[in-house]
Amino acid sequence: MLELNIKDEIAPLKAVVLGTAKSCGPIPNPEEAYDPKSLEHILAGTYPKEVDMIREMEAFANVFKKYHVKVYRPEVLEGCNQIFSRDIAFVIEDKLVIANILPDREQEVEAVLHVLDNIDDTHILYPPEEVHVEGGDVMPWNDYLFVGTYTAVDYAMHITARTNKHAVDWLTSQFPNKKVKSFELRKSINAKENALHLDCCFQPLGNGKAILHKNGFLEETEYQWLVDFFGSENIFEITSDEMYNMFSNVFSISPDVIVSEKNFTRLNNWLRGEGFTVEEIPYAEIAKQEGLLRCSTLPLIRE
C-alpha cells in the first residue's frame, strides 16, 4: 500500500503521478476549450501537436528518473487529454482528495484507478457535489493550506472559476489542524489576465522563496499577505507576460532542485543565483493549454 505523505510543495519527492499526452485526441473545437489560452491557440492554428507534447512529458519523466522518483502514469484513454493530473486529485498529508472537476473530465479519474487501488480506502476523500475543487488551487504548506478560489456571484458564468466557497469550507472541516488561507483569483476570458488556478500566479519554493504575480489576485490585501509571509526580498515577482507563459508553474523535486521550462531565462537565472539546481526541460507546447509542470503532476509521497 502507498503511505501517502504531502505536507508541503518542496520536500524530497518519492512518488508521483505524471500525466500522459498519448492519444490526447484531435484539436478541440473552439466551444470545447476549457480555458482562454487553449482557445487562443485553437483559433490561431497553433494548438500543440501530440508528438511534441509526448516528447516534452518524456523529458519530465527522465528528470524524475534521474532523482530516483517512483513515477506512475495514467492508463491511456483513447482520444482523451490526460496531461494535467493535478486537476483530478491531490494529496494533503495522508489523504487523497478526488477533485470535483468539469463533468467532461470525470473519465480521467478512472485512468488512475490502478494507483488508487494501492491506497487505503479510508485515506481517499470524495467531496460532496456542491464542492468544486481542483488541485491547481490547493497548496499544502506546513501548518497552512493555501487555496485559490472565486466566490463572486457570477461564479457559474466563468468556466475559468474552478474552486468555490464550498470547497474552502469543506477543506477547513476535513483538515482541522490546518490554517486554511484562501485567495480570490482574477478570472477573465483574456488569457493574459486570467489566473486559472492559484499555481498560475503563486508558487512557494525552498529556502523561503516564492514566485508571485500581483495581478493574479483580486484582493490586494491577500497578495500583500503573501508578500509579508515570505518577505519581499524572497519573492520573484513575474510580469503579466510571464504569468501568461506559466512562469510560476514550476515544480520542486526537493528544497533545492526545481524543474523549470528552458525558455524561462529570467526566472532560471534568478533561481540559480539563489542557490537552486534548475533542471530545464522543453515544455512550451504543453504551456499552450494554460498548464505547465506543476499541473502535470500529482505528488503522492514526499519525505
pLDDT of residue 104: 67
Cell output for 243: 504569468
Counting Cβ atoms within 10 Å, is residue 227 exposed (0-12), middle (13-18) or buried (19+)?
Answer: middle
Which of 95-99, 159-163, 166-170, 200-204 shows the lowest mean pLDDT across its residues?
159-163
Average pLDDT for the chain: 92
Q: Give per-residue pLDDT as tens, 66-92.
A: 999 999 999 999 998 899 999 889 999
Could you give all domains of the chain from N- to C-terminal order, each with its CATH number? 13-302 (3.75.10.10)
User: Considering only 31-35, 114-118, 282-286, 294-298, which range has the smallest mean pLDDT?
Assistant: 31-35
Cα dist. 76→4, 20, 25, 144, 235 in Å?
24, 7, 11, 35, 39
Q: Rounded mean pLDDT of 242-251?
A: 95
User: Number of C-alpha atoms within 13 angstroms, CB side, residue 169?
Assistant: 8
110 pLDDT higher than 90: no
Residue 121 DSSP symbol: G
Query: Given pLDDT bands bounded at 50, 70 and 90, which one contains residue 159?
Result: low
Give the per-residue pLDDT at 161: 55
Q: How far is Cα 202 from Cα 9, in angstroms, rounded to an integer?
A: 12
Q: How far apart are CA 4 and CA 121, in angstroms?
A: 12
For residue range 15-65, list pLDDT tens digits in order.
Answer: 999 999 999 888 888 887 767 788 888 889 889 999 999 999 999 999 999
What values do phi and psi take at 237, rounded to 5?
A: -85, 125
Percent of the chain residues past pLDDT 70, beyond the cut? 95
* Tens-digit pLDDT profile for residues 259-269: 999 999 999 99
